[in-house]
Amino acid sequence: METQAVASTDFWTLIIAAYAAVISTFVFGWDAYKWLASGAKISLSATPHMKLYGGYQEDDNVYISVIATNVGDQPTTIVNLGGMYYDSFWQAYLFRRKPTESFVVTEPSQAQRIPYRFEVGDQWMGLMDQTDDFVTKAKTGYLFLILYTVGSGKGKRVRVKITEDT
């Protein structure tokens, strides 16, 4: 009779230990996910054919506007705005290491100069001259603007799309 009670106790101990192991594994996985998902997350968009109105001097130039928003849970610092051009889909999306052309936008924003402390929820806007060369590249190939921040080696990129009818 006593042996049966010990076996029953061992059974319940095993069930409770298995339950605790499953729960602790789930909690560990959730904490790992939260740690990996935390940090600054940048939402980036590029809009061609932008003009400036107002100000002291009239500006007839056309720009590509880059708007970034920090939608993450930690601040970061914007350190650079650059770009890359690829001739083909394969180069742009599969073999991203060797662009046909790379460039840096030297002064993308007068009001929010780089390096710019990018707080959570903030929005940053930069401008790049929309030259005929960039229009041709955006229409015939794959033109990307890349926002580089502290701690992200590859940067966040967005494709500049200019269609034939615009």
- pLDDT, one tens digit for every residue, the chain (166 residues): 455 555 778 888 999 999 999 999 999 999 998 888 887 889 999 999 999 888 778 888 999 999 999 998 899 999 999 999 999 988 888 876 789 999 999 999 888 999 999 999 999 999 999 999 999 999 999 999 999 999 767 889 999 998 766 5
- Shared-domain flag, residues 76 and 108: yes
pTM for the whole thing? 0.77
Specify if 166 maps to a domain. Answer: no
Segments forming the whole domain that contains residue 16: 1-37
Question: 29 and 66: one domain?
Answer: no
Does residue 137 lie in a domain region? yes
Sequence letter at residue 128: M
Are 49 and 84 within one domain? yes
Q: Cα–Cα distance between 50 and 61 in angstroms, integer?
A: 9
Query: 106 and 57 share a domain?
Result: yes
**CATH number for the domain including 93?**
2.60.40
82 in the same domain as 32: no
Measured in whole angstroms, the distance separating CA 30 from the mean position of its chain's CA atoms is 23
Specify whether 66 is located in the same domain as 102.
Answer: yes
